[in-house]
Structure 1
């Protein structure tokens, strides 16, 4: 297992370089002057443009400027915005909030989605199965921003159970509703995926063998059926963490959450290429590490899988 993890970590290096280079090239190769409008209604003086071009290595070929940026990135230097603010400071303030929100959404979608899928698969066709299928189809069909606005209006404005907007330093309690909104779409997919996977394994030979051996139904379901059924669900959950963090722009905007989503949105509007590239590089790392974690969990869920 240790050699496999080491090999996978080494494989992450070219993947990280390739993905971050593509993002860097897309951000900095956009036609136009990134310093346009930075000096108000009048144009920026040539000395300012020359200094900023040299500072951000924009006069070098794209691959040269990228490797200069990569060298700074590996030393913890994420660069500065055009106004002179350290990007690492902006990320340090926004990233923990979005990470907390994404983890809450991941837990909500995992617990509710898996529970609903397992219950409907075990009980078979009936009222509960129809209710879950109709509810998940409704969540899939409704955009996340509609779900967010409706819940915010009903629970925050009409019933006054929550504050419509979270505080500047939100706690876990304030992020439960935004986390539910953020993970609602994935929760519907996980519920259907769990249900389908459980139904497939329900009629498998090893389940019939375990039942014929006289094992308790709870052990057959919890130890044998559920473990194998969770493999596709774990794959979905592992890759979904990065998607939740990168796709939280709408949810953070609805509930006024000071996270990565708002930071990236403002950076795109202001053509702050350094900020956009740094945030995307962190999201790439999350994706890569979560994929590695999912592969390791496969062996824990299915004893037939071994990494030698």
Structure 2
């Protein structure tokens, strides 16, 4: 296990360098004037443009800029915006909010999605099975912004059950509905994947053997069946944390959450490329770490998997 972990950590290095360079190149290749609107309605004077170009090394080649960026990044310096604000301050302010929202959404996915998948996988073709299949298809088909606006209007405006927008305290009770909205599509996929996996393993020889030995059904499902059926679900959940954080722009906008989604959108509009790159770099790290954890969980779930 130790050698495998070391090998995987070493494999993350070229992946991180490749993905960050691709992101850096794509962001800085976007056409447009980075100084548009920085000096009001009138265009920025040439001396201001020359000063900013020299300060941010915009006239260097992409290789030189990327090497300088990575050197500063390894020292914990994400750079500064054109307005002089530290990008690390923006990340430290917005990332915790998005992380809280993503964790709540992930918990809702795991509890509701996995629970519905297990129940329908054990009892297929019944009323509950058809209900889950229809509702999950409904959630997959509807765009996130439609679900968000409908729940915000019904629960927040019409019925007054929740506050329409999330406060700065980001209380857990305020994040339940936004978390459900953010994770609704993934929850539907998890329910369907869990249903299929449970139904397939339900007919496996080891399950029939456990039942023939007289083991209680609760132990058969909880220890034998569920454990061997969780690998595809764990894969979805592990890789979904980064996707939830990166895809929270619409949900954060609907419920007024000051997270990375709003920061990325604002940075794209104002052409603050360094801010976009810094935020996406952290998302890349989240993806890489979660993928590593998922791989390590495989051996814990399935005893047949061993890492040499």
Counterpart of 1:262? 262
Match of 2:174, SS state, is coil
Alpha-carbon distance in 1 for matches of 2:239, 2:80: 30
Give the Å deviation of 1:116.
Answer: 0.3
Give the Å deviation of 1:300.
Answer: 0.4
Counterpart of 2:241? 241
Match runs of 1:1-308 below 5 Å: 1-308=1-308
Alpha-carbon distance in 2 for matches of 1:85, 1:258: 17
**Which moves more between the two structures, 273-282 or 43-52?**
43-52
Alpha-carbon distance in 1 for matches of 2:223, 2:28: 51
**Which moves more between the two structures, 129-138 or 24-33?**
24-33
Alpha-carbon distance in 2 for matches of 1:93, 1:169: 13
Alpha-carbon distance in 2 for matches of 1:232, 1:181: 23
Alpha-carbon distance in 1 for matches of 2:239, 2:54: 38
Give the Å deviation of 1:215.
Answer: 1.8
Alpha-carbon distance in 2 for matches of 1:199, 1:82: 56
Give the Å deviation of 1:139.
Answer: 0.6
Match of 1:44, SS state, is coil
**Which moves more between the two structures, 123-132 or 15-24?**
123-132
Q: Which ranges in structure 1 are unaligned for 5 or more consecutive residues? A: none
Match of 1:174, SS state, is helix
Alpha-carbon distance in 2 for matches of 1:31, 1:249: 23
**Which moves more between the two structures, 33-42 or 238-247?**
33-42
Alpha-carbon distance in 1 for matches of 2:150, 2:36: 39
TM-score, structure 2 normalization: 0.98
Q: Deviations over 1:5-54 (max 9, x none)?
A: 11111111110110010110111122332112211122212222122112
Give the Å deviation of 1:122.
Answer: 1.1
Give the Å deviation of 1:101.
Answer: 0.2
The root-mean-square deviation of aligned C-alpha atoms, in Å, is 0.9
Give the Å deviation of 1:124.
Answer: 2.2
